[in-house]
Structure 1
Amino acid sequence: MQPFSARNPRGKSFEHGVPPVLRPILRAYVLGLAKWSSTFIAAWFSLKLLQSKKSDAYFENVYYETSQGQVLRPTHFAGRTLDLSLFAVMRALDVIIGEFWSQQKERRLATQTWSQVDRLIGTLADPAIFATSCALIMWAWIYTPDRLPRSYNKWIKSAAAVDPRLLEALRKTRYGEMKYGLETGQAYVLQAMCKDYSWPLDYGDPVKSIPFPCEMVHMGTGRNCEYHALSRFRRSFVWAISTYLPLNLILKVRKPSPKAFKIALKSSAQSSAFLGMFIALFYYGVCLGRTRLGPKIIGTDIVARRKMDSGICVGASCALCGWSVLIEDANRRKELGLFVAPRALATLLPRRYLPEHQWRETLAFATSVAVVFTCVNERPERVRGVLGKLLHRVLAQ
C-alpha cells in the first residue's frame, strides 16, 4: 500500500497556489477537521452500539388506534443513554463558552477594558451554574420526582430528612387538590402529622389554618424559623462529616503525615459545611417565601396564601440553596457545577421518547464528543476538571 501523500495525480501539492503564509493555517484546518470527523464517526457508532441494547424499563404497552378500534401493543422507547448524551453536551458547551470567554478576556485585557463587572461574572459563573442546576433538581424532587433517577431521589430524601406527608401536601397544594378556605377532603394528609407531633388537628386543616403554621415545616423544632435553619445546619453538618472525614482519612493513609491529616480535616469540614448550609438554606427559603418575606410582598389574603404555598415558597428555597457552594473553593465549585448541570438539564427533557427521534440524541452526542476530544488535542487547558486531565493523559499516550 502506498503511503498517503498530500499531492494530486500530477505530483503537485494540494497547497500549490496557496500563499506560504497561509499554508500552516490550511494544514491546521485540514488536520483539525480530520480529527473532529474521525472522533464524530467513532462517537456516533459507539453510542448506537449502546442504544442497541434493549431494556425492560423502556418497554411499555401503549394503545394504538386501528380500523378495528384501540389495540394494546408493546412499544419500545428510546432514552436509555440520555444521561450520557447530556453529560457530553454540557462538557462541549463548557468548552465552547469557555473559549469564547477566554478570547474576550484577552482582548479586553489588551485594550485595558476589563472591568470589575467582567471579573465578577467570571468569578460567579460556576456558582451560578451550580445554583441554577440545583434549583431545577430540587424543584423536580418535590413536584416531579419521576424525572430524577432513583439514586438521586433516595440520596436527597436521606439528606433532607423531610416528612413525606409534607411533600405530599406541597404537591397537592401545587396541583390544586388542596386549597385554603375550601373543603377538598385532603386535611387527612397533614392531620396525620399533627397526631405524630402532638399538634392540634386544626393545624392540618386548610379550612381552619390559613396558612399552615411554619411549625409544621420545622417538624418538631419549634416555631422560630431561624432556629430551625440553624438546627438543620448542625444536624446536616454532623451527618455529612461522619461520611466525608473517614473517606478523606482513608485516602491519606498511603502517605500519612500531620499535614495530610490537616488537609483531610479541612476538606471534610468544608464539604460538610457546604452540605449543611445547602439544606439549611433550602428549609429557610421555604420560611422566607411563606412567612418572612412572602406576605409582605404578595399579601396575606387567601389568594396570596394559595400562591405562596403552591410554588412561591418552594421556588424561593430552590433558588437559594445552591448558593451554599460559595463555601467550597473555586476548583470544587467548578467540578460540582459540571457534575449537576447534565442532571438538571435532564429534568427539562422527557426521560423516554419514540425511537424515530433517537438520531437527534446521537447527533448531539457525537458532535459534543468530537468538540471535546478535538479541544483536548489542541487546547487541553480548555477542558476543565478531572475529565480534562484524564482525557489529556489518555490521548497523549
Structure 2
Amino acid sequence: MPNTPPSTSRPPYRVWLGRVADHLHKYPDDHPIQIALRTYVLGLFLSLGPPVITFAISSRVRKKGLQSLLRAFKRELNVTGFAFAMTVAVGGGAALQKIWQLSAADDLSLGLITLPKCVPCVTFNRTKEWLSKLKGSHKTFLSYAASASVAITLLQYPTVRSPRWKGRPSATLDLSLLLLVRAIDSIVRSKVLPSPSEASTKEEKDKARTKRQRQSMTLDAFVFWACSARIMWCFFYEPERLPHSYNKWIMSIANIDPRILGALRAIRSGGWSYIRRFSSQPDMVTSLSHDIGYPPIWGDISRIPAYGGPSAQATWEELGVKTRSGLGGLPCELVHGGVVGSSCIANAWVRGVYAFAEALALYLPVHILPILLTRPRKLLRVSELLNTLLNVLRSASFLSTFVSSIWITVCLTRTLLLARLMPWISHDFWDGPFGCTFAGSLACGASIWIEKGQRRGEMSLYVLPRAIRACLSDRFLKMGKGVRLCERAAFVLSFATLMTAAWHGQDSLRGLSRWTLAFIINGPNAGFWKQKRQDTRPSTPNIPPPSRPCSEQ
C-alpha cells in the first residue's frame, strides 16, 4: 500500500479528534455524555471568558503579567472550578435520571431482590415501593438534587479550607441567589400565572397567553422598581452590601463626585449636621467647591443655613450665592459637581445624555451577539436590522431615564419643590437618608416601563439577586456553618427545580434560563437555533422539545 504524501497527511491530533467526534455523534443530543460536554464547554466560557477578555483589551492588566490570568486558569480547570462542578450537577443528574429510566424499563429497580423480614429490610422494601410510584418529574428532581449536592460541595471546598475566607461571606452566595431567583420565577409562572397549555381551544390559549403576559409584565415592573430602590439606596449609604464590580459600574454611570457621597453618608451617621453646624471632615465639601471653580466657603458647614426663609436669604447674599434664595442646604452648583452650573433641569438632561452614550456601548453587544450566534442572516434584512437597532435605542433610553430621573427627583425634593413648600424642615432631613436620595431611589425604577415586556422580565431577574443580597447583613452572612448549610439547601433545591422545569415544563422558564437550559439539554437542535426544528431525538414522554424559539416567548 503506497504511503500517503506528507502534504496531504492529517496530523495525529486531528485524526484523534475526528475519531472522538465520530464516536460522540453516535449518541443522541439528550444523552448524558453530550449534555456533560456542552455544560463543561459553556462553563469554561463563562468562567474564563471575562479574565481572558480583560487581559486582551486592558493594557493596565497586561502590564501586571500573566500571573493573574494563570491563576484564573488553574482555579477554573480544577475539579473544584465552576465548569467541572456544574458539569457534575448537570451531567451527573442526567446520568442518574437515565439510569433510573433504564432500570425501570428493564424491571431492574431492585424488584427481583428478595430480602428477609427484618426491620431494615422492611424499610428498604417500603422505600423501593415508594420510589417506583414516583412520577417522571419527581425522579428528575431527586436525580438533580443528588448531583447538585455534590456540585455545591465542590464549589465551596476551596473556601471552606482556605484561612483567608474565614469570617467572610460565602464565595458562592451570588450564584446561589441567582439560581434561587430563577427557580422562584419558574414556580410562579407554572403555579400562579395562567398557563396556555391548560386551555382546550385556540381562543382560550390565546386569551390565557395574553393574560399571562400582562400579569407577568406588571409583576416584573413592580419587582424591578422595588429592587432598584433598594439597590440605589445601598449605593448611596451602604455600598459594601453590593458586589464591588456592580457598585463600580453604578458609580461610573451616575458620574457623582465621591465627596458628595461622603457628605450624604456623614449626614446619616451624624458626622455632618446643618443644624449643629458640625462636620467630622470640614474640608470634604470645601475642597470640592474649590476644585470645580467656586469659593471654598460655599461648602463650609459652619456657614451654610440649615433652614429656608429670610435668614437663609441673608446668608446666601453674604456668601455670594445667587441661585438659592429662601433655601438651606448645599448649593446645587456643588451637588451637580460642576457639570452645568446651577440649572437642575440642564444637569439632569446632560447626565441623561451621558448615560445614553454609555448605555449604547453596553446594550449594543447584548442585543447583537445572540443574533450573531443563532440567526446571523437576520441582520442582513433591513427590517430586522432596524428593529434590532430600535431595541438597542430603547434599552439605552431606559438606562438614560433611570439616571436622569434620580437627579431630577433629588433636585425637586431639596431645591425646586418640596424644600420650598416646607422651609421649616431642616436640610438634615432633605439631604438625609429619607429625603432627596430616598425619593430619587423610589423614582428611578419607573423607567422600566420604557423597556419591552420580555426585557422587563430579564431586568427584574437580573436585579433581584442583588437586592436580596443587599437585604442580608454581613453579620448574618458571617455566622459560619449554619448559613453555609442554608445556602447549600437553597442551591440544591433551586437547581433541581430549574432542571426539572427544563425537562418537563419549559413554558415556566423564560429568557436566559430557557435559552441556556434548552441548549444544554437539546444541543444545537434546540428550537432557537433553527426556525423549523427537526427533532432527531428518540421520542421520550419525559423530555418534551421546546415548543417555539425562546426569543419569541
Please say whether Structure 1 and Structure 2 have the same fold, judged by a TM-score greater than 0.5: yes
> Partner of 1:102 in structure 2?
193
Aligned CA RMSD, in angstroms, stands at 3.4
Question: Residue type of the partner of 1:87?
Answer: L
SS at match of 2:488: helix
Equivalent of 1:268 in 365, 373, 392: 392
Answer yes or no: is 1:147 the counterpart of 2:261: no
CA shift, 1:330, in A, is 0.9
The reply to whether residue 200 of structure 1 matches residue 295 of structure 2 is: yes
Q: Tell me, yes or no, if the aligned pair for 2:217 and 2:457 is still in contact at 8 Å.
A: no
Query: What's 2:220 paired with?
Result: 126
Equivalent residue number for residue 21 of structure 1: none
Per-residue deviation, residues 309-334 of structure 1 (Å, max 9, x unmatched): 11121111111112212111111111
Match of 2:183 in 1: 92
- Label 1:318 to 1:58 Cα distance change in 2 as closer, same or farther (>3 A): farther
Q: Distance in 1 between matches of 2:278 and 2:211?
A: 51
Other-structure match for 2:262: 168
Helix, strand or coil: the match of 1:392? helix
| Deviation (angstroms), 1:261 | 3.4
TM-score (norm 1): 0.80
Aligned structure 1 segments of 4 or more residues deviating by more than 3 angstroms: 5-10, 26-30, 55-58, 75-78, 103-107, 116-123, 242-256
| Residue in structure 2 matched with residue 65 of structure 1 by the alignment | none
CA drift at 1:41: 1.6
| C-alpha spacing 1:57/1:121, structure 2 compared with 1 (3 Å) | farther
| Structure 1 residue 388 corresponds to structure 2 residue 514 | yes
Question: What is the deviation of 1:127?
Answer: 1.6
Percent identical among aligned pairs is: 29
Counterparts of 1:266 and 1:103, CA distance in 2: 31
The CA deviation at 1:366 is: 0.7
Structure 2: give runs of 5+ residues left out of the alignment.
1-102, 115-130, 305-327, 524-553
3-state SS, counterpart of residue 272 of structure 2: coil
* Larger RCO of the pair (alpha carbons < 8 Å, separation 6+): 1
Separation in 2 of the partners of 1:99 and 1:241? 35
Distance in 2 between residues matched to 1:243 and 1:81, nearest whole Å? 26
Residue 15 of structure 1 corresponds to which residue in structure 2?
Answer: none
The residue aligned with 1:23 is none
Matched ranges for 1:319-358 at <5 A: 319-350=442-473, 352-357=477-482, 358=484
User: 1:1-397 counterparts in 2 under 5 A?
Assistant: 3-4=107-108, 29-54=134-159, 59=164, 75=166, 77-103=168-194, 122-185=216-279, 186-209=281-304, 210-220=328-338, 221-245=340-364, 254-255=376-377, 256-257=379-380, 258-295=382-419, 299-301=422-424, 304-311=426-433, 312-350=435-473, 352-357=477-482, 358-396=484-522
Q: Could you tell me how far apart the structure 2 residues matched to 1:251 and 1:369 are?
A: 24
Contact residue 272 and residue 278 of structure 2 kept, 8 A: yes
| Structure 1 stretches lacking a partner, 5+ long | 11-25, 61-74
The alpha carbon displacement at 1:151 in A equals: 1.1
Measure how far apart 1:4 and its partner are. Answer: 2.3
Of 138-147 and 94-103, more deviation after overlay is shown by: 94-103
CA–CA separation in structure 2 for the residues paired with 1:346 and 1:184: 34
- Write the distance in 1 (CA, Å) between the matches of 2:361 and 2:518: 35
Q: Are the equivalent residues in 2 in contact too, given 1:181–1:206 (CA < 8 A)?
A: no
Stretch of structure 1 that moved more, 96-105 or 198-207:
96-105
Distance in structure 2 (CA, Å) of the matches to 1:117 and 1:179: 52
Paired with 1:30 and 1:250, the residues of 2 have a C-alpha distance of 39
Contact 1:130 1:341 (8 Å CA) reproduced: yes
- Alignment: residue pair count: 362
Given that 1:335 and 1:385 are in contact with CA atoms closer than 8 Å, whether structure 2 keeps it comes out as yes
Residue equivalent to 1:71:
none
Alignment check: 8 A CA contact 1:236 1:279 kept: yes
SS in 1 for 2:217: helix
Which moved further from structure 2: 257-266 or 138-147?
257-266
Q: Is the 8 A contact 1:181 1:208 kept in 2?
A: no
**Residue 28 to residue 371, structure 1, CA distance change in 2 (3 Å):** farther
The superposition leaves residues 318-368 of structure 1 with CA deviations (integer Å, 9 ceiling, x where unpaired) of: 111122121111111111111111011111114542332111110111111
CA contact (8 A) 1:126 1:337 kept: yes
For 2:471 and 2:394, the matched residues in 1 are separated by: 31
Tell me the distance in 1 between the aligned counterparts of 2:298 and 2:191.
55
CA distance in 2, matches of 1:307, 1:52: 47
TM-score for the superposition, normalised by structure 2: 0.59
